[in-house]
Chains A and B, each alone.
Chain A
Amino acid sequence: MKKKIKIDLIKTIKKKFRYLKNKKIVKSSDLLKDNILDSLELMNILIELEKVSNFKIKNYLKKNKSFKISILEKFC
């Protein structure tokens, strides 16, 4: 099991998708509904979260329908 680490998802997203550098993203933002990422980019980020933390895409999607930053971070 991976060590539980604190992930700053906003920073991770802005680093990975440089075009979002100046985009206003807050903890309550929903990555899909607020059009921050498209579904391919979202999946990309979720796969990365799986690699670096305890985040499990399958478990997350069973319990959640939204992709709010704050909820995603709690699952890491």
Chain B
Amino acid sequence: MSNNKILKKVIEEIYKVSKLNKSPVAIQSNIFPLIQKKIINNSLEVRDLMLEILNIFSGRTLLMPTFINYLDSDQLNYKTINLDKLKSSTGVLSEEFRKYKYSSRTLSPTLPWSIFGNDKDYLINLKPKIEWGKNSVLEWMQKKDAQIIMIGEHRIDNVLKHRVELINKKIVKYRKFYNYRRKILVNKKKYAIEQKYFGLRKDTTEPNYEYLWGNNFLANCRIKNIYGLKITSYKTLEYMKEFERKLKNKKK
């Protein structure tokens, strides 16, 4: 199959899963399998893929995580975090989406989302007191039962698992609340953010999420293998319900 045909097939698969519902859509992606096979070779081609995705989901609010995990404590504590400029560390597709002139980033120092669509203005003004908590993007996704599409990402890397952990904070002993203050610049405005973060305890490591899941999670969800690239789609609520069940079983 030629590279063009493979890329068309990927876009077709995304199109097929887009037809499953009309709710907002969150996309987490790792397109390295396509880059590795030289199907995508440069940022212009990534941009073309991003524009195809925008076209597929036109009329729906589109979200992509554009997190930043490379700042040191000096930059975090004493400098202004410029979200208008800092690159996303959650993949090249999300970075192209961040750079897209009609998308905007949410008010979070290191865990912002980039948003495009009808709900953008509402979402970019949310100021949750607890990351992943009340008034957060994740809570909004839960309320709207957003569709989650993971392109080349493993299900255990779904960021929603942290929302489930927060809701079940009494049994999640490997995390605790940390307070922090950060200065951010986003959408050309400066903000001082004071937030609580349900982070990992210092003397512990993340649990083995894969073990936590087991092998039977959402066996019926749509998965297609394209040169090692899986496209997985499910609804926020079914994902959260399943993760919650696994989390509680683990504690028994």
Contacts and interface: CB of A to CB of B under 8 A. Distances in A.
Interface of A: 34-35, 38-40, 43, 57, 61
Contacts, number: 27
Given A35-B70, A39-B35, A43-B38, 10 more contacts: A35-B89, A38-B91, A38-B92, A38-B95, A39-B30, A39-B31, A40-B41, A40-B42, A43-B35, A43-B36
Contact of A61 (B30, B36, B42, B89): B36
A38 B42 CA distance: 11
A43 B43 CA distance: 12
B92 A40 contact: yes
A35 B89 CA distance: 7
Interface residues of B, number: 18
Contacts of A38: 87, 91-92, 95
A10 B249 CA distance: 46
Report, nearest first, the 6 A-B pairs whose CB atoms are least far apart: A35-B70, A39-B32, A35-B89, A39-B35, A43-B35, A38-B92
27 contacts: A34-B70, A35-B69, A35-B70, A35-B89, A38-B87, A38-B91, A38-B92, A38-B95, A39-B30, A39-B31, A39-B32, A39-B35, A39-B91, A39-B92, A40-B35, A40-B40, A40-B41, A40-B42, A40-B43, A40-B46, A40-B92, A43-B35, A43-B36, A43-B38, A43-B41, A57-B36, A61-B36
